Amino acid sequence: MPVLHNLVSNKELKQRLMEETEPRTTVSFYKYFTISDPQAFRDRLYQAFLKLKVFGRVYIAAEGINAQISVPASRFEAMKQQIFDFDPALNGLRMNIALDDDGKSFWVLRMKVRERIVADGIDDPSFDASDVGAYLKADQVNTMLDDPEAVFVDMRNHYEFEVGHFDNAMEIPADTFRDQLPMAVEMLAEQKEKKIVMYCTGGIRCEKASAWMKHQGFDNIYHIEGGIIEYTRKAREQGLPVRFKGKNFVFDERMGERISEDVLAHCHQCGASCDTHVNCLNDGCHLLFIQCDDCAVKYRGCCSPECLEESALTPEEQRQRRAGRETSNKIFNKSRGLLRMTLPTPINKDDA
């Protein structure tokens, strides 16, 4: 049986990617449908993707599939057809092609079986994830944005909302999708009669959120088809005003797609206008935060003087300093400020 996982170091894989001469296409897709044997599904798809030189991150669960991948441009159509033919439920699947793509979004294929394709914390056997709100296309989104009876709800995390959003959109101030769902119900309790429009990056979170809101008794629920990515693409193709402002945060090496020239965020160190996300270069931190060019030079890519000092120590001195350090989410949080934290994964990629 062939090896069904990667055996090459990340350093070598990154080098191979940099040496590629053919452009790559970055694409994301998801589908809620029943998979009776997720592990067998995963293994078959892994082999198919490996032959097409697909890189990226794919989650598979009994409830469906969630993928963010890149593929050599010449193999994009073959990959798409492979997905359409792979399972009847995937035939004609919508794929969100990246808006601002340098082809260097992923350097390895990671495909995992999970309990859920999006970590939602829902433990209610009566919940029907397929009973979703009404889809909105680009022109309908723009119409809704001008409707005083419509409330736009951003179902992304704070670090995503901070760099880009629709005007007057409601932020649900939680660090994870599982925490956002009950919070959204509470925050919108007095607006049940209004039109609730939910949106996210590519559609996967807001689609499930729309079903959850309906399950909680909300009747006028909508969500943007394909999320920010598809809305922007269709609006541009149709010559419509693109009403999303700033950057669309993405869960890969790019960390953002420029939608408009508006810069909504600020450097977390000096407060200058900036919307560039980075990870602290201190290997004992890797905090996800916003840093301007001047602070990148001043702190040498680190998030704080402490991290700058630590990064200059010998490897052994760094290990001694980090021993016993408490762990937490490695994301800048507006309520916590720039805290040094030590979880090895900078963002919750289940929320992609």
Residues noted as catalytic = 200
**58: buried, middle or exposed (CB in 10 Å: 19+, 13-18, 0-12)?**
buried
Q: Which amino acid type is present at position 85?
A: D
* DSSP letter assigned to residue 69: E
* DSSP letter assigned to residue 347: S
Phi, psi of 316 (to 5 degrees): -70, -40
Residue 219's region, left for phi above 0, alpha for psi from -120 to 50, else beta, is alpha
Q: Which residues does 259 contact at the CB level (< 8 Å), separation at least 6?
A: 99, 164, 228, 232, 242, 244, 245, 246, 247, 248
How long, in residues, is the chain? 352
Of 286, 53, 296, 277, the C-alpha closest to 161 is 277
- The residues with which 3 forms a beta bridge, in sequence order, are none
Phi, psi of 56 (to 5 degrees): 135, -165
Separation CA 208–CA 214 (nearest Å): 10
